[in-house]
Structure 1
Amino acid sequence: MKLSLLFSLFWIIFLQATELPGLFTKSFNEKKLNERYQIIKPIKPGYLEADFTGDRITDIAVQVVDKKSKKRGILIINGGSNKHYIFGAGYKFAGEDFNDTNWLDGWRIYKDKIAYKTLFDAEGDIAGSKKVKVSHPAISIYSIEDGSELAGALIYWNGTKYVSIHQGE
């Protein structure tokens, strides 16, 4: 009997820790995003939260899959404006050549104030990098090969809109 009670308490705590914040879920449903997208949690953490825009209000990012195309992506709902933004899931990342994050092995909040955008030459070979100022927390997404981060993108607010830059190979 005690083991059953202990398991029940553990399960309740686990569900609370993995549930999305209520304001996010409410906005997701009111905007009818649930009709087109399914929230997925293929990697941990299941969602990211930070003040991505610098308005001192928490924003939430989740991974989604477009129900028709089956393409994966990232959905951000800004807490202050309640606007949503889609990266992937059939929409091209700004400045990138992909519209599906099926390659994504990891993600995290990026807190450094400087990032490096990978530059490519006309043949697609790496030609160097360019320093980029990042004023607010950003979302780092990446693929992993042989246990190390190989390549990815950084999604950040540039003061007027979300942009992404390629990082790594």
Structure 2
Amino acid sequence: MKKFLEKLLWNSRYMTLLAVWSCVVGMALLFISSALDMGHLLLEFINVEFLGHEYAGDFHTDVVSHVITAVDDFLLAIVLLIFALGVYELHIDKIDFARDNASAGKLLQIESLDDLKDRLGKVILMILIVAFFKNVLHVTFDDPLNILYMGAGIFLISLALYFGHKAGEKPDGDH
């Protein structure tokens, strides 16, 4: 009975494949959706800038907002990819193809749960920075307090990047 229970418990790790495949599907959907949105934006850009079609609103701000949204979606897709690969490597097996492929690099090779957490944290920080930048596009500077808030936000982002960089350094100071 003990042997059966231990085997059942050990094999239950394969349930993490549901998370892995769900993340892969979500990643693919985000990449495809964002790429299609960028294609539609390109067509709209051609229509407005080269064919002279009318556009209601501030076209430049809307273009920048769409591009930032696409970057945000691509970063989220990368988070899903890193998470899927990390969960697979930690719970199922190492990905031999990535280890044998010289172009794979170390970015997607996860050695521990802390390694996965660090990599995800850095990409999530970038998503938050992109989201902040997108919201800055819609800030009006008619109130001096808005300028102060934006300056404080930029300072806090700089601080987060600094500490994120410091946390990623090796003990001997090499990068």
TM-score by length of 2: 0.27
Greater strand proportion: 1
Structure with the higher helix share, 1 or 2: 2
RCO higher in 1 or 2 (8 Å CA, sep ≥ 6)? 2
Tell me the TM-score normalised to structure 1 length: 0.28
Q: Please say which structure displays the higher CA radius of gyration.
A: 2
